[in-house]
């Protein structure tokens, strides 16, 4: 099963946060190609957001843009209100928005701590709560939260980021238990070293070190992660909930 | 929409027996209005009136009268 016809999502409404670049962008492409109407959510309404929507539409997909800053509770509520007013339903949430913020112990400022936890953990909780409201109404739905291998294994210089991503494990396990009776599934994808804007700025030495730690000998692509997100979003994983799936090529930290 | 539409939802979801003393219908004061019943109640009100309540309003909806007040804030007329 590899073609677009294999996992039909026609008629489903999918909201993807952090959708402008990287994993979120690839997830949008995957979902739209399977027939889902994709709500492409970005932090700010800019040309890049419009370009992503146009990109999906030009490929024959159905899509719309939506502004959602996951660090702003009112923005998140407004976003889900918008989805409700427009579609009256939500079938898939890909909670992908996040932000890196590296600092070694002793150099972690309160601002860095706050922004990292807000963007990666509190923002995800807000999205899951909003999605749960809409999905419970239809007694179905799939929530896919995008975490990180750093949240499972930890890493030097990433205490706030890894802590926030580790928190997503608790979020997913708890939400999965709470929402299972309503037919709503919640799962976590934990990517390893993926070629995205977040990793583009690493110097060559760090990049080489990271790749050397990957059993499969290469960095992952956003598409590698999008395929797993798509699987979890689809009915092919209809009996899977509360799980964490690593997409890391056998990375060892 | 009339107040009776809201009363009907409360009666159905909470299993209230008539005659109902609506002033006494409060969260965790009547059988069935627990946290699970609360979310069912919210869902039924939202479906009926085509609205999506914000989190603060869901938490604040602690009585039948408060529910009416909140619904009015969403433009639900006649309640």
**Does A9 touch chain B if contact means CB atoms closer than 8 Å?**
no
Residue A4 has pLDDT above 90, yes or no: no
Give backbone dihedrals phi and psi of A146, rounded to 5 degrees, phi first.
Answer: -100, 110
Give the pTM. Answer: 0.92
Q: In 10 A of CB A78, how many CB atoms?
A: 16
**Does A82 touch chain B if contact means CB atoms closer than 8 Å?**
no
Of A77, A80, A137, the CB nearest to B47: A137
Q: In 10 A of CB A6, how many CB atoms?
A: 11
In this prediction, residue A101 carries a pLDDT of 87
Angstrom distance (rounded) from CA A202 to CA A209: 11
Residue A3 has pLDDT above 70, yes or no: no
**The two three-digit tokens of residue A210, written as one number:** 């990271």
Listed in sequence order, the residues at least 6 apart from A88 whose beta carbon sits closer than 8 Å to its beta carbon are none
Residues of chain B under the 50 pLDDT cut: none
Residue A5 has pLDDT above 70, yes or no: no
Show residues of chain B in contact with A129, CB under 8 Å. Answer: 55
Listed in sequence order, the residues at least 6 apart from A106 whose beta carbon sits closer than 8 Å to its beta carbon are none
Residue A1 has pLDDT above 70, yes or no: no
Show residues of chain A in contact with B39, CB under 8 Å. Answer: 136
Listed in sequence order, the residues at least 6 apart from A253 whose beta carbon sits closer than 8 Å to its beta carbon are A149, A150, A153, A154, A155, A213
Angstrom distance (rounded) from CA A79 to CA A129: 12
Over residues A182-198, the pLDDT tens digits come to 999 999 999 999 998 77
| Active-site residue, selected from the candidate residues A71, A80, A125, A161 | A161
**Chain B residues whose C-beta sits inside 8 Å of any chain A C-beta:** 39, 43, 46-47, 52, 54-55
**Does A80 touch chain B if contact means CB atoms closer than 8 Å?**
yes
Determine if residue B74 is left, alpha or beta; phi over 0 gives left, psi from -120 to 50 gives alpha, anything else beta: alpha
CB contact under 8 A, B54 and A84: no
Q: Estimate to the nearest angstrom the gap between the alpha carbon of A151 and the chain centroid.
A: 14
**Does A179 touch chain B if contact means CB atoms closer than 8 Å?**
no
In this prediction, residue A145 carries a pLDDT of 98
CB contact under 8 A, A77 and B39: no
Q: Nearest C-alpha of chain B: how many angstroms from A127?
A: 12
Residue A108 has pLDDT above 90, yes or no: yes
Q: List the Cα angle B31/B32/B37 in 5-degree steps.
A: 155
ipTM reported for the complex surpasses 0.95: no
Angstrom distance (rounded) from CA A16 to CA A40: 6
Angstrom distance (rounded) from CA A54 to CA A38: 12
Over residues A7-41, the pLDDT tens digits come to 589 999 999 999 999 999 999 999 999 999 999 99
For B58, nearest residue in chain A (alpha carbons): A133
In chain A, pLDDT over 70 holds for what percent of residues?
97
Q: In 10 A of CB A209, how many CB atoms?
A: 12
Show residues of chain B in contact with A80, CB under 8 Å. Answer: 52
β-strand partners of A94? A16, A144
CB contact under 8 A, B47 and A136: no
Over residues A36-67, the pLDDT tens digits come to 999 999 999 999 999 999 999 999 999 999 99
Of B43, B46, B55, the CB nearest to A77: B55
Show residues of chain B in contact with A85, CB under 8 Å. Answer: 52
Angstrom distance (rounded) from CA A146 to CA A135: 19
Q: What is the average pLDDT score of chain B?
A: 93
Over residues A217-253, the pLDDT tens digits come to 999 999 999 999 999 999 999 999 999 999 999 998 8
């Amino acid at each position: 099963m590899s073609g677009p016809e294999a996992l039909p999502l026609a008629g489903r409404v999918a909201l993807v946060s952090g959708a402008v670049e990287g994993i979120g962008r690839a997830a949008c492409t995957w979902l739209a190609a399977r027939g889902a109407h994709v709500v492409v959510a970005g932090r700010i309404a800019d040309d890049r957001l419009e370009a992503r929507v146009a990109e999906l539409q030009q490929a024959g997909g159905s899509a719309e843009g939506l502004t959602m800053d996951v660090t702003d509770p009112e923005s998140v509520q407004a976003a889900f209100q918008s989805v409700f007013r427009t579609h009256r339903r939500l079938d898939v949430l890909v909670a992908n928005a996040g932000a890196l913020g590296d600092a070694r112990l002793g150099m972690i400022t309160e601002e860095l701590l706050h922004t990292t936890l807000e963007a990666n953990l509190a923002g995800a909780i807000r999205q899951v709560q909003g999605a749960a409201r809409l999905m419970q109404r239809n007694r179905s739905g799939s929530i896919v939260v995008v975490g990180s291998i750093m949240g499972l294994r930890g890493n030097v210089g990433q205490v706030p980021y890894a802590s926030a991503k580790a928190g997503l494990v608790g979020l997913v396990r708890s939400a999965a238990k709470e929402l299972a009776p309503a037919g709503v599934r919640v799962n976590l994808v934990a990517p390893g070293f993926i070629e995205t804007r977040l990793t583009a700025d690493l110097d060559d030495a760090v990049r080489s070190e990271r790749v050397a730690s990957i059993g499969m000998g290469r960095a992952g692509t956003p598409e590698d992660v999008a395929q797993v997100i798509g699987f979890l979003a689809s009915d092919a994983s209809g009996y899977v909930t509360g799980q964490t799936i690593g997409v890391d090529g056998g990375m060892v930290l | 929409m009339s107040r009776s539409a809201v009363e009907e939802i409360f009666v159905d979801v909470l299993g209230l027996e008539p005659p109902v003393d609506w002033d006494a219908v409060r969260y965790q004061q009547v059988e069935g209005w627990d946290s699970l019943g609360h979310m069912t109640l919210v869902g039924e009100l939202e479906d009926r009136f085509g609205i999506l309540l914000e989190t603060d309003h869901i938490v604040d909806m602690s009585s039948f009268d408060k529910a009416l007040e909140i619904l009015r804030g969403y433009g639900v007329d006649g309640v």
